[in-house]
C-alpha cells in the first residue's frame, strides 16, 4: 500500500490518540498535503522539527496498529465483503446453493474475527 494512503488509514484509526499539536502538524502533512516548509512557517517551528514530528507520529501510529491490528482487521473484512458483493452480482451464472454456501462461509469468517 502506498505510504500516503497507509498514513491516512492509520490516522483515521488512531489519530485521536495523538496530541492536538501532533494532529495539526500530521493533518497538514498527510491530509492537506502541505510541504514541510509550509507547515514549519505556519507553526513557527523549523522544517526539521516538522520532519521529526511527522516521523514520530508515523512511529506512534504504526505502534498502535502493531498492538491493536484495527486497520488489518478492517482491510480483511473489507476484502471479504467485496467477495460477497461479487458473488451476489454474479449469482445468475452459478448454482444458487453454491453461492449461498460461499456467502455463508465468508460471513461466518467475518463474525468469528469480530
pLDDT value at position 106? 94
- In this structure, are 59 and 81 located in the same domain? no
pLDDT along the chain (114 residues), means of 10: 92 98 97 96 97 98 97 94 88 78 91 84
pLDDT at residue 90, rounded to an integer: 75
CATH code for the domain of 14: 1.10.10.10
Question: Domain containing 94: what range?
Answer: 72-113
> Which pLDDT does position 93 carry in this prediction?
65
Considering the domain architecture, whether residues 46 and 82 belong to the same structural domain is answered as: no
Tell me: do 35 and 56 sit in the same domain.
yes
| The length of the chain, given as a count of residues | 114
pLDDT for 87? 87
Long-range contact set of residues 16-21: C-beta below 8 Å, sequence gap at least 24: 17/60, 17/64, 18/57, 18/60, 18/61
How many domains is the chain built from? Answer: 2
What is the model's pLDDT at position 113?
Answer: 83
3-14 and 70-89 are packed helices; what angle lies between their axes, rounded to 10 degrees?
110
* Final residue before a domain boundary, out of 51, 67, 83: 67
Assess whether 76 and 51 both reside in one domain: no
pTM of the complete model: 0.82
Instruction: Note whether 10 and 60 are same-domain residues.
Output: yes
Please indicate, yes or no, whether residues 63 and 76 belong to a single structural domain of this protein: no
Amino acid at each position: 500500500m502506498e505510504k500516503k494512503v497507509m498514513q491516512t488509514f492509520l490516522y483515521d484509526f488512531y489519530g485521536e490518540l495523538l496530541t492536538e499539536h501532533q494532529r495539526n502538524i500530521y493533518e497538514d502533512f498527510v491530509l492537506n498535503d502541505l510541504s514541510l516548509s509550509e507547515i514549519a512557517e505556519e507553526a513557527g517551528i523549523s522544517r526539521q522539527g516538522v520532519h521529526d514530528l511527522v516521523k514520530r507520529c508515523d512511529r506512534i501510529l504504526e505502534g498502535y496498529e502493531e498492538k491493536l491490528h484495527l486497520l488489518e482487521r478492517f482491510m480483511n473484512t473489507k476484502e471479504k465483503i467485496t467477495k460477497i458483493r461479487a458473488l451476489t452480482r454474479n449469482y445468475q451464472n452459478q448454482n444458487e446453493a453454491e453461492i449461498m454456501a460461499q456467502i455463508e462461509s465468508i460471513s461466518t469468517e467475518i463474525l468469528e474475527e469480530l
